[in-house]
Every structure is written in structure tokens, then in C-alpha cells.
Amino acid sequence: MTVKPRLVLLGKQGAGKGTQAKSLARHYDIAHLSTGDLFRAQAAAGTAFGLEAKRFMDDGELVPDAIVMGVVEECLAPGGPLADGFILDGFPRNKAQAVELERLLDGSPLHAIVHLDVPREVVVERLSERRVCVKNGAHIYSVVKPPAVLWICDECGGEVVQRDDDNPDSINKRLDTYERDTRPIREFYKASGHKVVTVDGVGENRVVFERLTSAIDAAVV
Ligand code: ADP
């Protein structure tokens, strides 16, 4: 593929977006933006903006659009990290963000919106078992697939912990917010003539990755 794809990855919390986006970014040589990872890193660094975002994240609430858009706009600016192909993971999260993204992308539209589809009961189980590296949120483990040395990240040596928002109350609240605010984005993209592809996210990571690249290769021509 010569063109560097511009992709949005949609799916419920725990669908595997973080794991797959990281592999896809490497495969297509594009940037991976996870707004959640970015906010968590800022919160861990103790910046004013990160601490503000953390208040919402810990409650399982969305961070206000104005804060999110400021960050995304900066990343999308000419010469910014997303200027040469990207996969967006965890953004857009509602229709207002999708509309704003269209405005920011003026002249360089998205190639595909990929929906990674996993049933709710499966993601609830995955989220309860999930453990993540505090240094890099894209390094993801679980109680059934721990790092080789407990609980030290195989990839970077960071501590591997349960995320503050991976508790039952927050998980259910986030999934309800997904149904209400995020699910309708697919209809928005379809109605505005975008390619929206759904990929089955149940199965081994490697198998899901192959399904994703086949779908993306067919959509990005
Ligand atoms: P999850 O999808 O499992 O909730 P993320 O890492 O994508 O995990 O996001 C964690 C939290 O960060 C969200 O619950 C929300 O508070 C905040 N967040 C991430 N992306 C956005 C966004 N695009 N808009 C609003 N809030 C966001």
C-alpha cells in the first residue's frame, strides 16, 4: 500500500482497540493516537490538563469535548504527529467530536472507519481481567495472560496494574456511555458517505489482526 491510511477504530471498551491499533500502526507505518493513553500519561505526569482529565476518567465519564479537541487539533496540525497517516483509537467518542474531526481533516478525508465488534458480555469479562503497563498503556496484559515476571511489563519494565476505571461500576457506566454516545457515530459516518467496515473482534489477537488488515486493504485503495 503506497497511500498512508487515515483510519478511525471504533468499538466498545475492551474490544481490543489498543492492542490492535498498536499492531496496525506498525504494519502500515502510521501514527497511533489513543486519547485515553494520552490523558493517562498526562495524569501520571501530574500536568494540570492531565489532572483535570483524570477527574472525569476515574468516574467513567467522558472528558469534555473542548479538552479533547484541543489535544487532537494539536496532533493533527501540519507537521504534527498525525500529519502522515494515523489510526485514531478512542476518538471520536461522540457525534460532536466526529463533526469536529471532519472539519479538522478538511481536504484529507478518512479512508475507513473500522468497527471492531465484540459482544458486551465478552468485553465485561475482558475488562475485569485486564492489566496494563503504567509506563505505556498500549502494553496490555490480563490475569490469564500475565507478563513473564509478575507484574513487570515484558516490553518496557513498567509496573503492570489494574486501571483505576476497570472496576465493575465504571465498566458498566462506560459501556452505557458507549451505547448512548459512541455507537451512533457509525450511522453518522455512513450517512456522510464514509466507508464503515465491521470486523469480528472475537478470537486470537493474530486472527483478529488478519481480519482487520484484509478489511482495511480492501477499503483503502
Ligand atoms: P476505555 O475505552 O476503556 O474507556 P480509553 O483508554 O479509550 O478506555 O479511555 C479512558 C477514558 O479517557 C474514558 O473513559 C474517558 O474518560 C477518557 N477519554 C478517552 N478518549 C476520550 C474522548 N475522545 N472523549 C472524551 N473522553 C475520552
Q: What is the pLDDT of residue 138?
A: 86
Strand order in the sheet with 160-161: 140-142, 130-133, 160-161
For 202, the grid coordinates are 472475537
**Mean model confidence pLDDT for the chain:** 95
Active site (annotated) includes residue 95: no
What's the pTM value of the predicted model, to 2 decimals?
Answer: 0.94
Among residues 6, 12, 22, 163, the one annotated as catalytic is 163
Q: What is the pLDDT of residue 1?
A: 65
Q: Specify whether the CB–CB gap between 178 and 12 falls below 8 A.
A: yes
Q: Give tens-digit pLDDT for 82-133.
A: 988 999 999 999 999 999 999 999 878 999 999 999 999 999 999 999 999 9
- Range 6-30+86-219 classified under CATH 3.10.180.10: no
Nearest CA to ligand 1 atom 23: 91
In the predicted structure, residue 59 carries a pLDDT above the cut 90: no
Q: What spacing in Å lies between the alpha carbon of 61 and ligand 1's midpoint?
A: 8
Domain boundaries, the chain: 6-30+86-219, 34-80
Three-state secondary structure call for residue 196 = strand
Active site (annotated) includes residue 17: yes
Among residues 40, 93, 126, 131, the one annotated as catalytic is 93
Q: Give tens-digit pLDDT for 145-195.
A: 999 999 999 999 999 999 989 999 999 999 999 999 999 999 999 999 999
Per-residue pLDDT, averaged over 34-56, amounts to 93
CA dist., res. 196 & res. 193, Å (int): 9
